[in-house]
Amino acid sequence: MPHPEGQPTREPARMVPSTEPSVPLDWSADETVALTKRAEEIATLRDKIISRASTPAEELRFKNLVDEMKGMIEVKEAAETGPEFRELINREQEALKTLFGKEIEIPPLPQEITPEKYKEWKEKGFELHYLPPVVLSETGPDGKKKWKELPGWTKKPEKGPEEIHSELPGGWMLVDTRQKPNYDNGAQIYPNDEVIGKALETLRRGANPVIEPYDAVPNPKSRFGIRGSDFEKPEVQTALAASLGVNVKDLDLPYAIENSLLMHMHMPEWGNTTTLEWLKDKTADSRDRLYGGNSDGGGLSYVYWVGAAGRHEDVGFRPLGRFSSKK
């Protein structure tokens, strides 16, 4: 497109770099005033640049203001988030963009998550991941619910959104990153699972064990051979929360859709083995619960309803912690 005579060729979009922080930040009153003044002047100068009515001095002023504002944000981000978490947040932003095909805003990490706690979790095989609070279903032309199409969600649950939970609670989660094992006649165990294994062994002990021993699963530390209904027991919740190092109120199992998205984003290998895992989805009367993940049944997409009171030598579980973001 030709430019007006005497006007230099510019690319306005390139001249307006983003000054948005990668995560929401808490600004003081003085900081807010300083940022607002800079933002107002930047907006005025930006309009002049885009309309090609600016002078070289104004363009230089614009650049300096943008640099100042970006610098303020970087300092604030470093102070609030800490260098230990920058890599984590950047990784989650990239994974979410690949999955959803667009930028997803990520809130700051909850205040109770310290660098020391994060290091301890990683050493035990746990990792922090973020999923946004969104509904993953929509109404199709036939009036029935169907799964939304996301660029990075290629293997959706076989059960539709009319049958299983379709709304992501959203938030930071502590996720067990271990690969579930292949089936070995009930003798299979999760790798490096001593922390949760000790808790399960204790729950299976005594004359009246909280988790009833199961002959088909001989190892008392095994995650297999546990009823889906056992997760409703306060003793089980307390023991597992202590193993993860989270509050009991934050302990949970993943919904099928959460498990599916986490596998697509970070752990596709979860769908490559011949065992299954209990999921959070259950019927209103709690009689049936979902399990899924068996590679023989479809891996990433396989989910199936089964009686929650039953025990299975090939069904394990993956506990997680849910956190509320700081305000």
Q: How far is C-alpha 296 from the geometric centre of its chain's CA atoms?
A: 26
190 neighbors 180 (Cβ within 8 angstroms): yes
The predicted-structure confidence for 46-56, as pLDDT tens digits, reads as follows: 888 888 888 98
Q: Amino acid identity, residue 321?
A: G
Please tell me the predicted confidence (pLDDT) of residue 289: 96
pTM, two decimal places: 0.74
Q: Which amino acid is at 35?
A: L
Domain range summary for the chain, segments of one domain joined by +: 1-81, 115-323
What is the three-class DSSP state of 277? strand
Among the listed residues 141, 140, 144, 145, the one whose alpha carbon sits nearest the alpha carbon of residue 167: 145
Note the Cα 246 to chain centre separation in Å.
Answer: 16
Q: Helices 56-81 and 29-50: crossing angle, nearest 10°? A: 140
Determine the pLDDT at residue 8: 38
Sheet hosting strand 251-252, strand order edge to edge: 126-131, 171-176, 320-323, 251-252
Q: Give me the residue label for tokens 């032309």.
A: 141
**194 with 234: CB under 8 angstroms?**
no
How would you write the pLDDT of the chain (327 residues) with one tens digit per residue?
333 334 333 443 344 444 454 445 666 787 788 888 888 888 888 888 888 888 988 888 888 888 888 777 765 655 555 666 888 999 999 999 999 999 998 988 888 898 899 999 999 999 999 999 999 999 999 999 999 999 999 999 999 999 999 999 999 999 999 999 999 999 999 999 999 999 999 999 989 999 999 999 999 999 999 999 999 999 999 999 999 999 999 999 999 999 999 999 999 999 999 999 999 999 988 899 999 999 998 888 999 999 999 999 999 999 999 997 543
**pLDDT confidence of residue 76:** 60
Rounded Cα gap, residues 196 and 204, in angstroms: 13
Closest listed residue to residue 288, CA positions, set 303, 309, 260, 302: 309
pLDDT attached to residue 82: 65
The beta strands (E) that lie in the chain are given as: 126-131, 137-139, 145-147, 171-176, 251-252, 276-282, 288-292, 303-307, 315-316, 320-323
Angle between helices 194-203 and 234-244 (to 10 degrees): 160
